Amino acid sequence: MSNDNKGANPFVVGFFGLLAGLAGGVLLAPMSGKETREEMVHKIRDIFGIYSTEYKEKFEKIRGILQQRLLALKKTGATIDSEKYMLVVDEVVTDFKSDVNTTKEGFEKLSKYLKKDWDKVKKALA
């Protein structure tokens, strides 16, 4: 029998590369871990009106889906510029409107916070 698998799936490798890049970015970030966590709590309270583990998990899930879509785009060979990134953010946030109970203003804030991450994402995708 022949083994046609000549290595790891490029999507999996890319995904772990992105995660490693994001982890490295967090570790080398100008803010301490405590400050980063406080900022995340502030964002979640601002978006959902309250902070809970449930909302933190939803925020992280949405951010994770965004990362997966960007990796899938990159895998197709598409160039990801800020305009395309903003469109993907809007698509992901729209997809979650039925899953997350928040106001229209909350979704606008969620989109705003994700869009502010463009510089971090650009570095991770490079």
C-beta atoms surrounding 57 within 10 Å = 10
More confident residue, 108 or 12: 108
pTM: 0.65
Percent with pLDDT over 70 in the chain: 83
Q: What is the pLDDT of residues 29-64, one digit of tens each?
A: 556 678 878 888 888 888 888 888 888 888 888 888
pLDDT tens-digit series, residues 13-32: 777 677 777 666 655 555 66
